[in-house]
Amino acid sequence: MELLYLLCSIISTTITSLLLSALLPFRHLLRRVSAADALLDRRNSVSLYQGTVWHERRRPVRHSFRYSVRYALIDLDNAPRPPSNHLSADEARSVSDTNGPVFLLTIPPSVGYEQNPLSLYYCYDVEGETQTLRKCIAEVTNTPWGERVIFLFNPNSDLVAKPLHVSPFMDMMGQWSLRTNEPADNLHIVISVQHPELGNYFTASLTAKRVASSTSEDHSWFFWLMPHKVALWIYWHALKLWWKNVVFVQHPRYHNPTYREDAVKRDESIHLCPSFGNEEALDHRREGTKTPNNRCFTWTDAKWPWC
């Protein structure tokens, strides 16, 4: 049944994208004669990045691939049209307990389709004239189910219990190790999976550079079919893994309805365990107190027909 839903979704997306792509030139002309849009563009609230996503699986079989990708870094406090289906700047500040600007790194929707395996919120604290990147919020969406989880992490380095079924070729065990630099001319994000049986068997990374853009540029052309290309790579390499006889793992909702609660418990154990390199946990152990766990996973269920 899920295969039928997937086929229907692909057909519907293809038709919609073809129709909206045909209208893009007319939309571009309208923007050029629109004084309001030109004024909004000059607010310069979006930085464009172009780079490479790289995946490497080392066990139980070796498989790696890379593809070109384009991202937008959006100043959520100054964006003339805040992105839909994402947190606002105030919501992100509330989650991260910060007081400064918030930037969202994401792939914008293109011709009616959105595909964002990972979006990041960079949350800053401001003290006097000093602005410091304090926390990041990860927004992970699985393909093709469209479920989403949001959680807080330390950008310098953090270990998080895996909270979402992101691939039919990975189980729910293990942790995600995450780190990212502060977005500037260069951007780098690394996520690796640490599994109790397979060890450090999977790594994904994004390496990107900021690209110059005109304030009057229509970003619809820059991101045209970018989400579609990401989806194509995901499905194509899933097929390759199946061909290599990697075990297909059913979604845990069918055999373990409490998998989300299990993820919370595993994450709490990470916070309490200094052996994972958690210096905060070590400090609290010396003081004889418990480590506060403010991870706070927030899940969003899939929309029809995946629900």
pLDDT tens digits along 217-239: 568 888 988 999 999 899 899 99
Q: Can you give the pLDDT at residue 3?
A: 58
Helix, strand, coil percentages (3-state) for the chain, rounded to 5, are: 30, 30, 35
Sequence-distant (≥ 6) Cβ neighbours of residue 299 within 8 angstroms: 147, 148, 149, 163, 164, 260
CA 222-238-220 angle, 5° bins: 10
Asked whether the predicted pLDDT for residue 307 surpasses 70, the reply is no
* 3-state SS, one letter per residue, for 99-144: CCCEEEEECCCECCECCCCEEEEEEEEEECCEEEEEEEEEEEECCC
Summarize pLDDT for 29-39 with one digit per residue, the tens: 445 434 334 33
| Structure token digits, residue 218 | 């229509």
Summarize pLDDT for 233-257 with one digit per residue, the tens: 998 999 999 999 999 999 998 899 9
Q: Can you give the pLDDT at residue 147?
A: 93
Asked whether the predicted pLDDT for residue 205 surpasses 80, the reply is yes
| Structure token digits, residue 97 | 């307990």
CA-closest candidate to residue 71, choices 38, 113, 118, 111: 118
Q: Can you give the pLDDT at residue 175?
A: 95
Summarize pLDDT for 134-181 with one digit per residue, the tens: 999 999 999 888 899 999 999 999 999 999 999 999 999 989 999 999
Q: Which amino acid is at 212?
A: A
Strand pairing report for 118-127 and 130-141? antiparallel
Q: Where are the domains of the chain?
A: 2-300
| 13-22, 61-70, 74-83, 298-307: range with highest mean pLDDT | 61-70
Q: Can you give the pLDDT at residue 277?
A: 40
Contact (CB, 8 A) for 118 and 139: yes
pTM of the model: 0.84
Mean pLDDT of the chain: 83
Summarize pLDDT for 43-76 with one digit per residue, the tens: 478 999 999 999 999 999 999 999 999 999 999 9
Burial of 226 (0-12, 13-18, 19+ CB in 10 A): buried
